[in-house]
Amino acid sequence: MNYTVIQSPLGRMLIATTDKGIAWLGFGDSDVQAIDEIRSDFADIELTREDAACTRYAKPLLAFLERKAPFPSLPLDVIGTPFQRAVWDELCAIPTGTTRSYGDIARRIGRADAPRATGAAVGANPVSILIPCHRALASDGSLHNYRYGLARKRMLLEIEGATFRAPRIQQSLAL
């Protein structure tokens, strides 16, 4: 798999591609952290740094993140279970600038009984941003769970102009 790591408004962004399209997209605070992230999903894959080969994908992503272009439509090459694919398809059906709860996504794919499994499928998304997992919120409309941190999720939703509530804060009990 070819990859590049570039600076973005969300930190170091790693884009990994095949001949068919983007197979992995994620973030880190450093190149090493971004590479560790892809390795957590693809431990045995051969990675070849090919900055030039990935530029055609990086440019529209950066333009979107810099608020200079609309949400990009890029070819993907992702693998998932039928359930994951159903969840990812539903995420892609959420219009830019809007959000849905994990439970609503579960209901829309005919699995109202599986909001937690839906959340797990959202979290297994290998191409952050392009399968817009950042548009999935808690049932109260607050930010909840994002592999790359809630600050990045908040920024993505702000770029899109989406409405959301502040993240839930867990309070510890004083003993």
The residues assigned a catalytic role are 133
What is Dmax (Cα atoms) for the chain? 57
Task: Check if the beta carbon of residue 139 is closer than 8 Å to that of residue 102.
Answer: yes
Task: Check if the beta carbon of residue 128 is closer than 8 Å to that of residue 76.
Answer: no
Joined tokens for residue 58? 């990086």
Joined tokens for residue 74? 């890029």
Between the two ends of the chain, the Cα-to-Cα distance in Å is 52
All residues at 6 or more sequence positions from 172 whose CB lies less than 8 Å from its CB, including other chains: none
